[in-house]
């Protein structure tokens, strides 16, 4: 078994990530009124990426980090590093030796070390793991509310009721990712589940995971026509932002129109989920 990293090192990395996240949030808050929406969005995404990486170190410390989640965090870390490298490039070119060393030692190098640590730990985990790719990229977000929805699909097979598929699509993308990853069989051939999981990844801003769904479907022998259909959905874009009230209103509207017992059961389940887990 691979040697586990010392908790002291893990805590140091975790604290470093939190420090960068707070610094980034401070910069964002100070410039909210004068920045354009796109730059505000970029900083918001960077803060969310730091949050994922911080969570990774918590899970590593507890011995619960999954390879797929680590892979996502490595992607996040590289994205942050590339953004910072581009952001500081002109300043580095125009600066003297002292400022250049400061940029490297205080900004770029710590991010590079974070990435290398995660890559090494992920490789150690991968060496221990002989099972097929499980697609559990969002396993850290799973909670008891998801369990109730998963129990519903044990009673009513996924894809057997078209309106239920529509109702599910109204949940936040990350919740759909959690649910669909639990239902997904990487060695199976399920065109409907492939479609819904791919859309959940794309609309949550994770097209790189959607590509993996297509790769796995091809390995499993999915038809060329269905593969083509999946590829057409890679550019769907992000899901609309809805709060709890908006989602519950949509579900209540469906509730007033449906007379199907299975649909009514699922709608009431989703309304309870929204009321408990959304703001």
The pLDDT, as a whole number, for residue 62 is 80
Q: Among the residues of the chain, which ranges form H helices?
A: 7-31, 37-62, 67-94, 97-103, 109-128, 144-155, 162-168, 173-183, 191-203, 207-219, 224-231, 244-257, 261-277
Q: Which long-range contacts (CB under 8 A, 24 or more apart) does 83-91 make?
A: 83/42, 83/46, 84/108, 84/111
- Neighbouring CB atoms inside 10 A of 25's CB total 15
The pLDDT, as a whole number, for residue 25 is 96
The residues, ordered by sequence, that sit 6+ positions from 78 with a Cβ below 8 Å of its Cβ are 115
Nearest one of 78, 65, 261, 34 to 152, comparing CA atoms? 261
What is the DSSP code (8-state) at residue 3?
A: P
Q: How many angstroms separate the CA atoms of 43 and 197, rounded?
A: 27
- The DSSP code sequence of 67-91 is HHHHHHHHHHHHHHHHHHHHHHHHH
The pLDDT, as a whole number, for residue 124 is 78
Q: How many angstroms separate the CA atoms of 92 and 98, rounded?
A: 10
Running along the chain, 279 residues long, what does each successive block of 10 average in pLDDT?
58 95 96 94 95 94 85 95 93 90 94 94 71 71 93 93 95 94 83 93 91 86 87 86 92 94 96 94
The pLDDT, as a whole number, for residue 8 is 72
Between the alpha carbon of residue 53 and those of residues 14, 97, 120, the distances in Å are 8, 31, 14
The pLDDT, as a whole number, for residue 127 is 67
Burial 223-259 (b: 16+ CB within 10 A, else e): eeebbeebeeeeeeeebeebeeeebbebbeebbeeee
The pLDDT, as a whole number, for residue 93 is 87
Q: How many angstroms separate the CA atoms of 194 and 185, rounded?
A: 10
The pLDDT, as a whole number, for residue 132 is 45
Domain 7-128 sits in CATH 1.20.1440: yes
The pLDDT, as a whole number, for residue 216 is 87
- Neighbouring CB atoms inside 10 A of 41's CB total 11
The pLDDT, as a whole number, for residue 259 is 92
- Neighbouring CB atoms inside 10 A of 119's CB total 15
Nearest one of 65, 86, 78 to 111, comparing CA atoms? 78
The pLDDT, as a whole number, for residue 1 is 39
pTM beyond 0.75: no
The pLDDT, as a whole number, for residue 163 is 95
| Number of residues in the chain | 279
Every domain of the chain and the residues it spans:
7-128, 139-277
Phi, psi angles (nearest 5°) of residue 142: -70, 135
């Amino acid at each position: 078994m691979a040697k586990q990293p010392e908790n002291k090192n893990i805590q140091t990395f975790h604290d470093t990530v939190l420090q960068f996240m707070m610094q980034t949030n401070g910069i964002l808050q100070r410039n909210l009124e004068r920045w354009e929406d796109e730059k505000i969005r970029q900083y918001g995404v960077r803060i969310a990426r730091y949050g994922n990486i911080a969570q990774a170190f918590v899970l590593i410390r507890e011995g619960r980090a999954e390879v797929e989640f680590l892979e996502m965090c490595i992607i996040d870390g590289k994205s942050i590093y590339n953004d910072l490298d581009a952001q500081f490039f002109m300043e580095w070119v125009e600066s003297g030796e002292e400022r250049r060393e400061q940029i490297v030692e205080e900004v770029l190098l710590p991010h590079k070390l974070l990435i290398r640590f995660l890559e090494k730990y992920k490789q150690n985990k991968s060496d221990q793991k002989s099972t097929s790719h499980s697609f559990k990229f969002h396993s850290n977000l799973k909670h008891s509310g998801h369990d109730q929805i998963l129990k519903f699909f044990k009673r009513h097979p996924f894809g057997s009721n078209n309106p239920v598929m529509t109702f599910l699509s109204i949940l936040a993308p990350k919740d759909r990712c959690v649910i669909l990853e639990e239902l997904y069989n990487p060695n199976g051939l399920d065109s409907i589940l492939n479609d819904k999981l791919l859309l959940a990844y794309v609309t949550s801003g994770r097209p790189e995971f959607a590509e993996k769904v297509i790769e796995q479907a091809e390995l499993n022998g999915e038809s060329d026509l269905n593969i083509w259909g999946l590829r057409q959905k890679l550019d769907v874009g992000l899901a609309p932002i809805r709060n709890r009230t908006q989602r519950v209103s949509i579900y209540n509207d469906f509730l007033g129109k449906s007379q199907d017992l299975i649909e009514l059961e699922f709608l009431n389940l989703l309304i309870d989920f929204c009321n408990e887990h959304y703001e």
